[in-house]
Amino acid sequence: MPVFPESELIISEAGRIYHLDLHPSEIAPIVITVGDPGRVPRVSRHFDRIDVQVQKREFVTHTGWIGNQRLTVISSGIGPDNIDIVLNELDALVNIDFTTRQPREQLRSLDIIRIGTTGGLQSDIPVDSFVVSRFAIGLDNMMHFYQRPPTLPEAELYDDLRDYLQHAGQLPTEPYACEAHRDLVSAVAKKDLYTGITLTCPGFYGPQGRRLRAGSALHPDWLYRLSQFRHKKLAITNLEMESAAIFGLARLLGHRATSCNAIIANRANQTFSTNPKQTVDRLIETLLERIT
């Protein structure tokens, strides 16, 4: 088995992983990721008890219990580059022996669920509603650095998207398609939440079609064009900055992942939630009830 050198797997003298500052014993089988460090206590306040509270940089982690279920909630910060750190280090915590620096003989699979905020692209999905991602399309380049053969559903989505873009206009980057774990989607979505395809962007302004003083290199209606795309009746429902990277790395490393987002802005209708904090809190309560 490979031995990961000190330059590749950085472990502190206290036996903690480099960026997250966590010990392998401090990660639960279910991991909730949030972008905002301030959202971590808004999740963990629903725990019956909290055993672990760690903060380093933008990475805040609380691990605790709801009944007999142990959970971890961790803030990733914003963007796919941070997801690269969080997903690889979470996997190292559960699947690499920190003493031998080798993969463990028995690998563990985590359930990783993103709780986030998002912008809606469909006029019939109102603000303050919730969307569960069945797929994510990445406009960032993060997964291009990994060898990850696509599943058949991912390849079909990618082919449909490329065919559509030949007529609707090209994007400035090569997109990639990732599928959420179907069982996890079914467990949290039920019939009362919207499901669809999430667009993961590498930025908040130009990459999401916002035009302030810097303008945009893209055609002004490119978001509208993407909102008209359909894959087996699934639409691109929303856009954000993490889901595709989470799905891609999770499957590559043998974990299950999905993304659940509160729509606080509707880009098609140009509307914004009057109480986004309350909406996110409702989403947190809904998902905790379903996963525990």
Q: What is the bridge-based pairing of β-strands 111-120 and 256-266?
A: parallel
Contacts of 151 (CB under 8 A, 6+ apart): 179, 251
Residue 274 resides in a domain = yes
The verdict on residue 5 lying in a domain is: no
Mean pLDDT of 161-190: 90
pLDDT above 70 as % of the chain: 100
Is the Cβ–Cβ distance between 245 and 116 less than 8 Å? no
243: helix, strand or coil: helix
Q: Does pLDDT of 220 surpass 80? A: no
For residue 222, the model assigns a pLDDT of 85
Tens digit of each residue's pLDDT (9 = 90 or more) over 20-56: 999 999 999 999 999 999 999 999 999 999 999 999 9
| Structural domain contains residue 121 | yes
Task: Answer yes or no: is 12 within a domain.
Answer: no
Output the pTM of the full model: 0.96
In whole angstroms, give the CA distance from residue 162 to residue 265. 27
Confidence of residue 168 (pLDDT cuts 50, 70, 90): confident
Reported as a single tens digit per residue, the pLDDT across 141-157 is 999 999 999 999 999 99
CATH of the domain at 134: 3.40.50.1580
Cβ contact 99:11 at 8 Å? no
Residue matched to tokens 């909406």: 279
Residue 208 lies in a domain: yes
Residue 122, in any domain of the structure = yes
pLDDT of residue 288: 97
Q: How confident is the model at residue 283 (pLDDT cuts 50, 70, 90)?
A: very high
Q: Would the pLDDT of 126 be above 80?
A: yes
Would 39 be classed as within a structural domain? yes
151 domain-assigned: yes
Q: Give the pLDDT confidence of 221-276 residue by residue, as tens digits.
A: 888 999 999 999 999 999 999 999 999 999 999 999 999 999 999 999 999 999 99
Rg over CA atoms, the chain: 19
Lowest-pLDDT choice from 12-21, 130-139, 203-212, 252-261: 203-212
What is the residue range of 100's domain? 24-291
* Angle (nearest 5°) at CA 169 between 164 and 173: 95
Q: How many domains is the chain partitioned into structurally?
A: 1
Q: How far apart are CA 141 and CA 137, in angstroms?
A: 11
